[in-house]
Amino acid sequence: SVLPLAPEIDFMLQSSLHCKVPNGAIDITSLFINLNASTDAPHFVMEFIQGSPTSMVVLLDLLPRKDLALHPEYIEKYYGNTEADKQRKIIEELPQARPYLSPSLFVRSAFSPTAVFFTIDCGQGGESVLEEIVHGHLASVVKGLLQIWLGTCAGDTSEVDEGEREIMVKRDRTVRSKSIEVDLTANLPRMFGPDVSGRVIAEIRKAFGVEEA
């Protein structure tokens, strides 16, 4: 009930995908909360990819909207002062966690240095251990990052210079379009077939404002 009250929110996209595969099933749960051009505050990104009862990939971030190397004050405001990296370290310290590297160099470059990108693998017979992690450490980290985002980003009223706004809007659009290309367009057709995946991708493009010409 809190999120729709923030005028800076452009749109929210929540999706849950389930696909049967020869060795079981893949479940992908995603939440994207994108802010509009009235603020340069980061977007909120959450994605869980579970390919077995004992392992999953976790992607969580306050997605930056500026070139961080050119704007150190942006890093300090949204990542340093908020101590966002403490949330990443909670998962990093789990013995079952190891860093996840996306095969896409673009995806790696688009996220923040405090992004929570991990594979959690509890090994054979580790179903109950994974469930404990999900409901314990992972739930705590999600809540922690969402609270940071709600408190620092969703209600941000900082004015954005017109020139910087144009650059930011272009960056947002490029990130959204490229993310669809390297993630959905590359993977959904082989999971759900061309017809279903085509309709899903078209709707996501429409929500993201990056329809194909």
Angstrom distances, CA of residue 120 to CA of 32, 65, 117: 21, 28, 10
CA distance 103 to 182: 9
CATH top-level class for 9-138?
A: alpha beta
CA distance 146 to 44: 8
For the chain, the 3-state helix, strand and coil shares in percent, each to the nearest 5, are 45, 25, 30
Digitized pLDDT (tens) for each residue of the chain, 213 residues in all: 344 456 788 888 888 888 787 778 888 899 999 999 999 999 999 999 998 999 999 999 999 999 999 999 999 999 999 999 999 999 999 999 999 998 889 888 999 999 999 999 999 889 999 999 999 999 999 999 999 999 999 988 888 999 999 999 999 988 888 877 766 666 666 666 777 777 777 777 777 766 664
Each domain of the chain, given as residue ranges in start order, spans 9-138
CA distance 39 to 179: 21
Other residues' Cβ atoms within 10 Å of the Cβ of residue 139: 11
